[in-house]
């Protein structure tokens, strides 16, 4: 069972970046980040039930999944190289829970980036839709199209839909079942990023991430929708060379 994928190991990197995909996402979403960040060793989390792990049972408990991911990430912290976590949408909450588990093991990340996500206290609060909407595949397809993260032509393909809908539905149900427990605050730096045209996450909802840490907190609103990072990845921010434009 492989939780992390690192196509480009970099022994002389300045930091390690662990990326957590969105609900229904896979490691391939971040495939271009390694080549674009030559001073960073990029690792991407591989969720079960899709892509290379299509034969594994899909996850049903977000916190339990974070425990397994934390066990895989912890060895990356042992040589002293800074480890940074970046999670998008549902991946932001998975990254957050992973960061808390690492901190409890005295292996806290240097920085947590949470992108396109409500603060965890609000993470499973949906506006205008109940959780059982995800029992309707057509409603799920409509939401995916509205978010802009999946090609419309692919979703029109019956074979593609049959392949991806089971794990997309599973991720949505798992995310809806997540319950935030404010029992352990982070000590690391946290940066929250949201697109100014995100239909799912408002600026105010994104700013709630400031509640989770006793360390420095920064909030950024950038141009774009829920998947702003597909068109303008925040590379300058991640490498410390500036704010994404």
Q: Which residues are catalytic?
A: 89, 226
CA distance 177 to 171: 10
Taking the C-alpha atoms of residue 81 and residue 100, their distance in angstroms, rounded to an integer, is 19
* Res. 61: pLDDT tops 90: yes
Burial class (CB within 10 angstroms; exposed 0-12, middle 13-18, buried 19+) of 242: exposed
Which of 142 and 216 is assigned the larger pLDDT?
216
Structure tokens at 95: 């990254």
Smallest CA-to-CA distance from 233 within 116, 152, 147, 117 is with: 116
Q: pLDDT tens across 2-39, in order?
A: 999 999 999 899 999 999 999 988 999 999 999 999 99
pLDDT at 161: 75
Nearest to 116 by CA among 196, 17, 217: 196
Instruction: Give the pLDDT of residue 30.
Output: 96
pLDDT in tens, 147-159: 666 665 666 677 7
Model pTM score: 0.92
Listed in sequence order, the DSSP H helices in 74-220 are 90-104, 137-147, 152-155, 158-177, 203-207
């Amino acid at each position: 069972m492989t939780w992390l994928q690192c196509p480009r190991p970099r022994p002389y990197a300045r930091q390690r970046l662990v990326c957590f995909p969105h609900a229904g996402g896979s490691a391939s979403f971040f495939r271009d980040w390694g080549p674009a960040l030559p001073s960073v060793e990029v690792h991407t989390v591989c969720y079960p039930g899709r892509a290379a792990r299509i034969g594994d049972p899909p996850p049903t408990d977000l916190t339990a999944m974070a425990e397994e991911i934390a066990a895989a990430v912890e060895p990356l912290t042992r040589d002293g190289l800074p480890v940074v976590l970046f999670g998008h949408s549902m991946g932001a909450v998975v990254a957050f829970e992973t960061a808390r588990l690492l901190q409890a093991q005295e292996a806290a990340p240097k920085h947590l980036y949470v992108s396109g996500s409500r603060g965890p206290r609000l993470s499973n609060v949906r506006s205008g839709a109940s959780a059982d909407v995800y029992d309707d595949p057509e409603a799920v397809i409509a939401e995916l199209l509205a978010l802009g993260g999946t090609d419309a032509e692919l979703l029109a393909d019956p074979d593609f839909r049959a392949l991806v809908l089971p794990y997309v539905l599973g991720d949505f149900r798992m995310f809806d079942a997540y319950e935030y427990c404010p029992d352990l605050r982070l000590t690391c730096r946290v940066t929250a990023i949201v697109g100014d045209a995100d239909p799912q996450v408002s600026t105010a909802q994104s700013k709630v991430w400031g509640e989770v840490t006793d360390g420095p907190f920064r909030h950024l609103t950038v141009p774009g929708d829920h998947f702003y990072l597909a068109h303008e990845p925040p590379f300058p921010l991640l490498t410390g060379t500036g704010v994404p434009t």
